[in-house]
Structure formats: C-alpha cells, structure tokens
Amino acid sequence: MYITAASTISHQPTFKNAGFSKLIEPLKTDSELISPNFKDYIDAGLLRRMSKILRMSVTAAKDCLQQAGVDQPGAIIVGTGLGCLQDTEKFLNNFLTIEGLLPPTSFIQSTHNTIAGQISLSIGNHGYNMTHTQNTLSFEHALIDAGLLLVEGNDNIIVGAADEYIEILGEIGEKLSANPAINLTSGASFFVVSKDQSGNSIAKIKDVVTVGLVQDINVSIENFLTNNTLEESEIDLVLYSDFVDSGLVSDVVKRFENSSEAINYTNLVGIYPSNSSFALHYAADRIQNNNKIKTVLIINGLNRINLGLTLIQSIEA
Amino acid sequence: MDSLKEDLKKHIIEQLNLEDLTVSDIDDDALLFSADGIGLDSIDALELIVLMEKYYGIQVTNPDEGKVAFLSINTMADYIEKKRA
C-alpha cells in the first residue's frame, strides 16, 4: 500500500509543513495544540458544532484529499482509542445537571464513529465508512482494514487516527497515581493510501501487524522481520513508544542501536492512544527528506499488553 | 416583546454555537431554517425544542405547531407569548 498524501495536526508544527521531522524538538510539558484556521477547510455550518477531535480530523482528511488531488476517496477508515471525549464529557454533564429534555448535539457527536461520519458528511462521500477502536492499536487496525480493502479493489482510501485531550484525563491520571511526567496531548494524522505506485507516492507501507497480550516483544519483532525477509541491520530508523517509563520497548530497541537511529516518538508528539499515526507521518517525512533512510520500523508499545509493528519503506527500496 | 426577541436571539446563538453571529445580525423576520436566512438544520430544530423547555418552560410536542413556531424569531416570540397567556 502506497501513501500518496499525509497530514497531521498536533502539538508540533506538523500541519502543511513538509520536512517538519527535521525541525521538531522533544515536546515540552506545557505545549498546546497548534491549530490551523479550520474555517479554511470546514463549512461554518458544520464547524460550529465540532469539537477539537472533529475539527482536527476533518481538516487533516480534507488536506490529504487536496494533496492527493482526489475528490472522493474509495473509503474512509478511522482509528481512535478514546473517541470524542469532549462531547462525551459535555453530554454526561448535561445528563447529570439538566432536568427534562437533553440537548441532542453532544449526545449525537459523542460516539467514536462521529469522526469518520463527519469526514464523509463534509465531502458528501457515500462509500465504506469504518471506525476501529482497539485501545493503542486502533490506528494499526485501521491500516490493516485499508490494506484489505485495497486488495478488494477500493482505491485512494482515507485512513487515519485521532484522539483528543480533555482536562479530566489529567485528573484521572493523577488519581490513578500515573507518572506526573506523562505528557497527554491531542493529535490527528490522516493519509491517502493507494494500491499502486504513482507520481504522488511518498512511501510504501510494507506490513502492519498487531499482537494482543504480547508475551515477548523480542520474539514478535524477530518474527516480523523474518516474515519480511529483513535483517536488523537493514532497518535505518526505529520509531518506538514505550509503556510509561517501563523501558520494555527501549530495552528491545537497543538491539538496533549499532545500525539504526532510534527515536521515542512519544517524546515528540506526547501521549494519546493513536499516536502511532503520527509516527507513520514522521517516518514518511523522514524518508522524503533523507534519501539514506529506506526502511523504517515503528514499534508501538504504548500499552504494556499491546504491540503494533509497522514497516515503511521508501519508494525506491 | 422586544426584550423577549432579544433574549431568544441570545439563547439561540449560545445554544446553537452560532459563533459568527451577534444579536443584531439576526432579523426578527429572517427565516431560521432557510439558507437565505440563518441556515439552521434538523439537529438545530431539536436544540430549539430543548431551548423552549429550558428557558421558557414550553414543551413543543406537536410537530405541526413546531414547524410554524420555528419559522422566525417573530413566530417564536408569538408562540411563547401565546403559550404564556
């Protein structure tokens, strides 16, 4: 599957900023979402009701379509770990405080599949519309779905992921005695993927695998590399995330240190359940801007029991 | 009656997140559900029903009544006055 367009809205200057991977520094703890002018992408009538996650997602998805020169995608597939939290919180607060009829908008927009739905509404798309919510592997599952659909004949698929931070997440984290250094953020990354290589192709997604209840990360990575007939030394860049500060993945990544550059992408974009979608955009951006990087491995270990492995290659590889 | 209309416009702007509009932008006789007027849609209609109960204690249970009542600020104000009488 080939990436023909990529767009990310995050706490870093990623939006409409090709080459951002060379510029960004590790995120500071007081960072804020860098929002583009959403009115440039979303009709005012729709925008007024949209929460942060919807604004980010629809804008990034439409930016992708513009980049790819595609009017109507063959499908819209979204991954989200926690869904539309802002509307969920608003609805629950309404539910607790209002007697009588409840305002419908926050209820309607509180469901996870609102994201994919709003993307389709904003472009008038009537095709396959799917939402995957699988904790920290939501984006990987969306990618697998996109790959299967491409085989079935759909083309120019929008696939992406988004999650939004709301204040109560920080409060819950504190009550759970989570590490205070955790940098919870919001982000949305969307892509247009196609079956065949074209002039617009940025990079190629060679393989995506998810492992639930992972027992041995090392063995899973070895199997993944073997299945793709790759040696460790052939990986030029490893992008990884770790479960808080467990060091589970960073220890494993040491096996690549002689031959590869290794970057913990949660330090760059912060923590949200689908932040591996940022890693995919980061990988594609690095490949585009450095012809020495041919093969990138994303190791998503954000949740202790879930492992996501994604292999990205340059078009020439 | 004028203060009721102004009050209604404020509530509508707030409840429907009409961020780009102010009270003075909404004419009393502008069609609320027309693209030439305010351009509201079916979800907004539900929000208006909630608004009528929340702020004016009026339950709009008859769809035919609602259609007429929600035409414009003028018709909404008339409807509220009638129900209060």
Distance CA B9, CA B73 (A): 7
Q: Across the interface, do A104 and B47 touch by the CB < 8 Å criterion?
A: yes
- How confident is the model at residue B76, as a pLDDT? 98
| Residue A66: pLDDT over 80 | yes
Residues of B whose CB is below 8 A from A44: 20
- How confident is the model at residue A171, as a pLDDT? 86
Query: What confidence category does residue A123 fall into, taking pLDDT thresholds of 50, 70 and 90?
Result: very high
Query: What confidence category does residue A176 fall into, taking pLDDT thresholds of 50, 70 and 90?
Result: confident
Distance CA A33, CA A163 (A): 12
Q: Across the interface, do A44 and B53 touch by the CB < 8 Å criterion?
A: no
Alpha-carbon distance A105 to nearest alpha carbon in chain B (angstroms) = 7
Residues of A whose CB is below 8 A from B38: none
H-type alpha helices, chain A: 20-23, 44-47, 52-68, 85-97, 104-108, 114-123, 138-152, 167-175, 217-227, 248-253, 266-269, 276-289
Q: Across the interface, do B41 and A102 touch by the CB < 8 Å criterion?
A: no
Q: Across the interface, do A44 and B20 touch by the CB < 8 Å criterion?
A: yes
Return residues 96-135 of A near B (CB < 8 Å): 98, 100-105, 108
Q: Across the interface, do B20 and A101 touch by the CB < 8 Å criterion?
A: no
Return residues 8-67 of B near A (CB < 8 Å): 15-20, 39, 41, 43, 46-47, 49-50, 53-54
- How confident is the model at residue A261, as a pLDDT? 96
| Residue A236: pLDDT over 60 | yes
For the segment A187-194, the average pLDDT, to the nearest whole number, is: 98
| Residue A57: pLDDT over 80 | yes
- How confident is the model at residue A187, as a pLDDT? 98
CATH (one of 3.20.20.120, 3.40.50.720, 1.10.1200.10, 1.20.1260.10) for B2-84: 1.10.1200.10
Residues 6+ apart with CB under 8 A from A71: A65, A123
DSSP letter, residue A271: B
What pLDDT digit, counting tens, does each position of A8-47 carry? 999 999 999 999 999 999 999 889 999 999 999 999 888 9
B27 and B40 Cβ atoms separated by less than 8 Å = no
Alpha-carbon distance A228 to nearest alpha carbon in chain B (angstroms) = 50
Please choose, from the candidates A140, A80, A74, the residue with its C-alpha nearest in 3D space to the C-alpha of residue A114.
A80
Distance CA A47, CA A54 (A): 9
What pLDDT digit, counting tens, does each position of A143-175 carry? 999 999 999 999 999 999 999 999 999 888 888
| Residue A317: pLDDT over 80 | no
Q: Which of A98, A100, A104 shows the shortest C-beta gap to B46?
A: A104
| Residue A2: pLDDT over 70 | yes
Query: Could you give the percent of chain A with pLDDT greater than 90?
Result: 88
CATH (one of 3.40.50.720, 1.10.3080.10, 3.40.225.10, 3.40.47.10) for A2-194: 3.40.47.10
Q: Which residues pair with A310 in a beta bridge?
A: A208, A298
- How confident is the model at residue A64, as a pLDDT? 98
Question: Which phi-psi region, left, alpha or beta, contains residue A78 (left: φ > 0; alpha: ψ -120 to 50)?
Answer: beta
What pLDDT digit, counting tens, does each position of A211-226 carry? 999 999 999 999 999 9
Judge if A2-194 and A203-313 fold alike in CATH terms: yes
Domain boundaries, chain A: 2-194, 203-313
Q: Across the interface, do A101 and B16 touch by the CB < 8 Å criterion?
A: no
The continuous run of DSSP H or E covering A205 comes out as strand A203-212
Q: Which of B17, B46, B50 shows the shortest C-beta gap to A48?
A: B17
Q: Which residues pair with A264 in a beta bridge?
A: A240
* Pairing of β A157-163 and β A75-79: parallel
Q: Across the interface, do B50 and A44 touch by the CB < 8 Å criterion?
A: no
Q: Which of B15, B19, B43 shows the shortest C-beta gap to A108?
A: B43
Distance CA A65, CA A72 (A): 8
- How confident is the model at residue A154, as a pLDDT? 95
Q: Across the interface, do B47 and A105 touch by the CB < 8 Å criterion?
A: yes
Distance CA A300, CA A214 (A): 12
Query: What confidence category does residue A258 fall into, taking pLDDT thresholds of 50, 70 and 90?
Result: confident
Question: Which phi-psi region, left, alpha or beta, contains residue A244 (left: φ > 0; alpha: ψ -120 to 50)?
Answer: left
- How confident is the model at residue A316, as a pLDDT? 86
Domain boundaries, chain B: 2-84
Average pLDDT in chain A: 95
What pLDDT digit, counting tens, does each position of A68-107 carry? 999 999 999 999 999 999 999 999 999 999 888 899 999 9
Alpha-carbon distance A103 to nearest alpha carbon in chain B (angstroms) = 6
- What are the backbone angles phi and psi of residue A191, rounded to the nearest 5°? -140, 155
What pLDDT digit, counting tens, does each position of B23-81 carry? 999 999 999 999 999 999 999 999 999 999 999 999 999 989 999 999 999 999 999 99
Q: Which of B18, B39, B50 shows the shortest C-beta gap to A103?
A: B50
Distances in whole angstroms, Cα of residue A37 to Cα of each of A76, A222, A256, B64: 23, 44, 41, 40
The vertex-A103 CA angle with A98 and A108, nearest 5°, equals 130
Please choose, from the candidates A275, A263, A262, the residue with its C-alpha nearest in 3D space to the C-alpha of residue A189.
A275
Residues of A whose CB is below 8 A from B15: 103
| Residue B1: pLDDT over 80 | no
Distances in whole angstroms, Cα of residue B25 to Cα of each of B28, B30, B34, B80, B84: 10, 10, 15, 22, 27
CATH number assigned to the domain covering A203-313 = 3.40.47.10
